[in-house]
């Protein structure tokens, strides 16, 4: 029977990594892999995490299972940063559980949506490819609307139309901040409108908050999520610490459910626990424990926030320099300056993407998505010159 399985195409990003790694040119540039890099091109371990890990090694006295809900101290310590300082006063309507990264959280959220009887998920296009892949694997229909308008802003008309046409049994998946892959976020005014529209509908919001702190600030990046949660009776929140704590390979995430009636919370979370048990059984502990230790210690928390500020400031500097290049060949880089997070899409043709690789050793996705953190003050002029060359 196994021989009846069909060959699946290689993951495009993994193939891109391989192409970059085998390129012998010393000045090659990797703008594909979605990790933060310093001005020297490194992906560092946070100093606050290093200190927490040292403490964990010294003090941890067991490697026993924690249960499918994971480290609940970690889950609870994150809540004020996600939901605000008054999150404890939300009437017992929110509870969470630990997951293996943001992907595990999304998988669990969408599995719960399917189990609850939802049939369709409204998703902006383009989106992170795994959003649609998870929906397809679970048998959920995807209804797409255009996320970005031609002028580099959000296409609010398309979103309004998608919400207006929603049916009973629809959920909507929204990026909380630092949209992947476009970097184009909703403004505060737009989030206010989105919250009002959702409040008038039967749609279940699923907020994917994978990059909090990498846009304009921890509080600012949570604005949209908090506005939606105030407006609607129920929601799911998928959260990742992989980026804002630099814990990519440790896979640290959480799923939160908000219910209308606190009496339903135990029932909802029991389904989350059961689905987790059937998928990964118990989440990995080390990274979540390190985050918990950081958030339990005021000095380590301050150190983490300072390191996060430095990351964000560096990416904003890169964006500003790209924007200053303006019209470069046949591409206008100006909009990149007003976008957020790790990613932006530059409107290359497939032939131009290939030319950037073969002629200039600059690697990024076929969609034109670039990871701005792969650019440094040492190589950004090389990138701009290459763009001018292949798009002129």
Catalytic residues: 128, 208, 243
Is residue 171 a contact partner of residue 106, using CB atoms and an 8 Å limit? no
The distance from CA 61 to its chain's CA centroid, rounded to whole angstroms, is: 33
Residue pair 137/117 in contact by the 8 Å Cβ criterion: no
Q: Which residue has the tokens 């990613």?
A: 343
Do 331 and 346 contact (CB within 8 A), yes or no? Answer: yes
| Cis-peptide into 389, omega within 30 deg | no
CB 362 within 8 A of CB 375: no
Q: Could you tell me the two tokens for 222?
A: 């949570």
HEC sequence for 60-96: CCCCCCCCCCCCHHHHHHHHHHHHCCCHHHCCCCEEE
Q: DSSP assignment of 128-181, as one string?
A: -HHHHHHHHHHT-EEEEEE-B-TTSSB-HHHHHHHHHT--TTEEEEEE-SS-TT
Kindly state the tokens that stand for 43.
């992906």
Task: Map residue 236 onto helix, strand or coil.
Answer: strand
Tokens at 367, concatenated = 């969609």
Rounded to 10°, the helix 298-325/286-296 angle is 100
User: Which phi and psi (to 5°) does residue 255 adopt?
Assistant: -120, 130
- Asked whether the beta carbons of 213 and 78 are under 8 A apart, the reply is no
Count of helix runs (H) and strand runs (E) in the chain: 14, 13
Instruction: Give the largest Cα separation in the chain, rounded.
Output: 62
């Amino acid at each position: 029977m196994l021989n009846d399985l069909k060959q699946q195409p290689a993951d495009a990003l993994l193939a891109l990594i391989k192409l970059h790694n085998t390129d012998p040119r010393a000045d090659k540039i990797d703008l594909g892999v979605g990790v933060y890099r310093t001005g020297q091109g490194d992906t560092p371990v946070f100093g606050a995490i290093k200190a927490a890990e040292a403490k964990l090694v010294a003090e941890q006295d067991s490697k026993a299972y924690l249960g499918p809900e994971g480290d609940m101290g970690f889950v609870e310590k994150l809540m004020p940063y996600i939901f605000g300082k008054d999150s404890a006063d939300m009437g017992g309507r929110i509870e969470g559980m630990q997951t293996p990264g943001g992907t595990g959280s999304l998988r669990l959220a969408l599995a719960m949506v399917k189990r609850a009887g939802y049939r369709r998920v409204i998703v902006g296009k383009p989106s992170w490819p795994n959003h649609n892949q998870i929906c397809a694997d679970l048998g959920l229909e995807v209804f797409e609307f255009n996320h970005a308008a031609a002028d580099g802003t959000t296409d609010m008309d398309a979103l309004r139309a998608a919400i207006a046409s929603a049916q009973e049994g629809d959920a909507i998946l929204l990026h909380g901040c630092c949209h992947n892959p476009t970097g184009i976020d909703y403004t505060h005014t737009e989030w206010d409108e989105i919250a009002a529209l959702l409040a008038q509908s039967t749609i279940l919001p699923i907020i994917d908050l994978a990059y909090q702190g990498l846009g304009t600030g921890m509080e600012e990046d949570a604005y949209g999520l908090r506005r939606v949660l105030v407006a609607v009776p129920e929601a799911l929140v998928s959260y990742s610490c992989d980026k804002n704590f630099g814990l990519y390979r440790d896979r640290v995430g959480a799923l939160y459910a908000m219910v209308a009636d606190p009496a339903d919370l135990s029932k909802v979370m029991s389904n989350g626990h059961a689905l987790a048990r059937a998928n990964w059984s118990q989440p990995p502990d080390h990274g979540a424990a390190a985050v918990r230790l950081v958030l339990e210690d005021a000095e380590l928390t301050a150190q983490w926030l300072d390191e996060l500020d430095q990351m964000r400031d560096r990416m904003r500097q890169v964006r500003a320099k790209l924007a200053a290049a303006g019209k470069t060949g046949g591409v206008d880089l100006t909009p990149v300056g007003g976008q957020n997070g790790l990613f932006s899409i530059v409107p290359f043709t497939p032939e131009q993407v290939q030319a950037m690789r073969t002629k200039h050793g600059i690697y990024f996705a076929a969609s034109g998505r670039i990871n701005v953190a792969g650019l440094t003050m040492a190589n950004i002029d090389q990138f701009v010159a290459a763009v001018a060359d292949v798009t002129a």
